[in-house]
Amino acid sequence: MAGFHVHSVLVTRSNRGIGLELIKHFIGKPNPPEVIFATCRDPEGVRAQELQKLASKHPNVVILQLEATDSASIESAAKKAETHLGGTGLNLLINNAGVMPPRTLESATPEDMLSVYNTNVIGPLLVTQAFLPLLKKAAQGSNQKGMSCSKAAIVNISTVLGSIEKTPETFSFVPVVSYRCSKGPSSSSYNPPYWPDFF
């Protein structure tokens, strides 16, 4: 990935965990993106303090309020991103937001499953739909040939806990059945980088 370069990237749930580490990774690259959109539910909250410090030191980090299960919040973030980008489009969307409540097969309820699917499956769909016009704009404006994150791409994050290769006994110490169902390869949240036909 030596030639990897994107003008703009957006990462959902960037205030902690994998999302925050992705922001740090992009900042630390020799050729960092010119615009790094870091989103979280409460940009002014205690849980976003480390992200706020990063943004104060790196002017290319732009924090956006985004709740991945709230259509109005998502649309507002997309409009703010579009204004900030000034017509250049978004190169890379990373759907990272997710929840992992502790539930066993015996204790999981329909309400638990619906809540997790709302965040881990429906959320990435809503975010992708809202930012799709910006991804199309970046792809159409690129001179790069073939499929590439430097052109336009969507990446949906999963973890090893969503693997169907591992046996249930392997994760008996982490009882997260609803998470595992929502992040398995048959769900829409478990994909390699994705390039629709127009990318």
Examine residue 1 and state whether it is found in any structural domain, yes or no: no
Distance CA 30, CA 42 (A): 30
Instruction: Work out the percent of the chain whose per-residue pLDDT is above 90.
Output: 54
> Of the candidates 84, 97, 87, 82, which has an alpha carbon nearest to the alpha carbon of residue 127?
97
pLDDT for 157 equals: 80
Task: Yes or no: say if 199 and 152 are a contact pair by the CB < 8 Å rule.
Answer: yes
* Residue 106 pLDDT class (50, 70, 90 cuts): confident
Q: Is 70 domain-assigned?
A: yes
Q: Is 153 helix (H, G, I), strand (E, B) or coil?
A: strand
**What per-residue confidence (pLDDT) applies to 179?**
66
Domain that holds residue 155: 8-194
| Residue 194, φ and ψ in degrees, nearest 5 | -120, 130
* Residue 99, domain CATH: 3.40.50.720
**What's the pLDDT band for 163 if we cut at 50, 70, 90?**
low
According to DSSP, residue 132 is labeled H
User: pLDDT at residue 170 above 70?
Assistant: no
Q: What is the average pLDDT across 87-112?
A: 84
More confident residue, 149 or 88: 88
Q: Is residue 3 part of a domain?
A: no
41-45, 112-116, 132-136: which range is least confident on average? 112-116
CA dist., res. 126 & res. 93, Å (int): 12
Question: Closest by alpha carbon to 90, among 150, 38, 31, 147?
Answer: 150
User: What pLDDT shows up at residue 53?
Assistant: 97
Cβ atoms 106, 112 nearer than 8 A? no
* Residues forming a β-bridge with 191: 156
The answer to whether position 199 is within a domain reads: no
Domain tally, the chain: 1
Per-residue pLDDT, 161 = 56
Position 92 in a domain: yes
